[in-house]
Structure 1
Amino acid sequence: MLCCGNCNNEPQRTDYLPLAPDRWPLLNKFYREQRSSMRGDKTAQAWVAREGDIVAALNLAPVVGGQWLTGLLVAQDQRGRGVARALIEQATASVEGTVWLFCDPELAAFYQRLGFREHYDLPQSLAERLVRYQRNKALIAMAKTP
């Protein structure tokens, strides 16, 4: 049996926090370790869930009228524990304006539980991006308004 390093069997605390710009290499390392093609966007504010190491991440990129939530990824072994929900809630808590995202239609119910609704009145930059992305995969646009 492998020791988890926490011999009193208490669950490890998860911290949800913005990632400092000088820590960006850790974000991209996390994405690579998860075999994801995603990368951090230096124009965005990265947020991470940490249990020592990064276990989840997302980016909030500024757009006209709010923020675009992108790059959400939870480590495979951390899924189903509420990490994505908590990270999204923490990252968007102090955002002014609307938060938009694109997702697979199968994920709509998850985002609806967090207050997002299907929404296509997008800033032009996002509307154009959605059209391009929809050429290759089924995506819907969702938004959470203040």
Structure 2
Amino acid sequence: MKARDVHQVWAVGAPDIQACACIQPLTDGNGHWLTSLFVDPSVRNQGLAGRMLSQMRLAASGSIWLFCRPELADLYHHHGYQITGNLPESLASKLQRYRREKDLIALVNLG
């Protein structure tokens, strides 16, 4: 995961990071984009991703958008995300480009 100045980063675990996530504000001010969420395979299914999603939802104003593989949709649905085809233009063009190499869906949590 590569974070820039505009990103907000969450991390869990000490001394080793077990999970991390990163969101960035959209340039049009229409919410945030969850650019990455990672949980170490050795600690998956312990609720870390869900806790991070909940904390991000509390901290971020507006909608939170993300792209994921279809098999991960249930995790996000459980935390208030819905599949969407109505994306801000900046994300629609990214999704179109990313779909050239991966099977991805777009989800949004409207807050």
The TM-score normalised by the length of structure 1 is 0.70
Q: What is the aligned partner in structure 2 of residue 70 from structure 1?
A: 35
Q: Structure 2 CA distance, aligned partners of 1:62 and 1:50?
A: 25
Please report how far the alpha carbon of residue 75 of structure 1 lies from its aligned counterpart in structure 2 after TM superposition. 1.0
Q: What is the aligned partner in structure 2 of residue 48 from structure 1?
A: 11
Q: Structure 2 CA distance, aligned partners of 1:41 and 1:106?
A: 28
Q: What is the aligned partner in structure 1 of residue 59 from structure 2?
A: 94
Q: How do 1:1-146 and structure 2 match up within 5 A?
A: 38-63=1-26, 64=28, 65-146=30-111
Q: Structure 2 CA distance, aligned partners of 1:41 and 1:136?
A: 24
Q: Structure 2 CA distance, aligned partners of 1:41 and 1:79?
A: 26
The answer to which of 91-100 and 111-120 deviates more is 91-100
Q: Structure 2 CA distance, aligned partners of 1:41 and 1:76?
A: 25
> Aligned letter for 2:53?
I
Question: Which of structures 1 and 2 has the bigger CA Rg?
Answer: 1
Please report how far the alpha carbon of residue 51 of structure 1 lies from its aligned counterpart in structure 2 after TM superposition. 3.3
Larger relative contact order, structure 1 or 2 (CA cutoff 8 Å, min sep 6): 2
Q: Structure 1 CA distance, aligned partners of 2:5 and 2:20?
A: 14
Moved segments of 4+, more than 4 Å: none
Q: Sequence identity, in percent? A: 38
Structure 2: where are the runs of 5+ without partners? none
> Aligned letter for 1:126?
L
Please report how far the alpha carbon of residue 41 of structure 1 lies from its aligned counterpart in structure 2 after TM superposition. 3.3
Contact 1:39–1:71 (Cα < 8 Å) also in 2: no
The TM-score normalised by the length of structure 2 is 0.91
Write out per-residue CA displacement over residues 52-101 of structure 1, whole angstroms, 9 at most, x where no aligned residue. Answer: 33211111100031000121101121111111111111122121110000
> Aligned letter for 2:86?
D
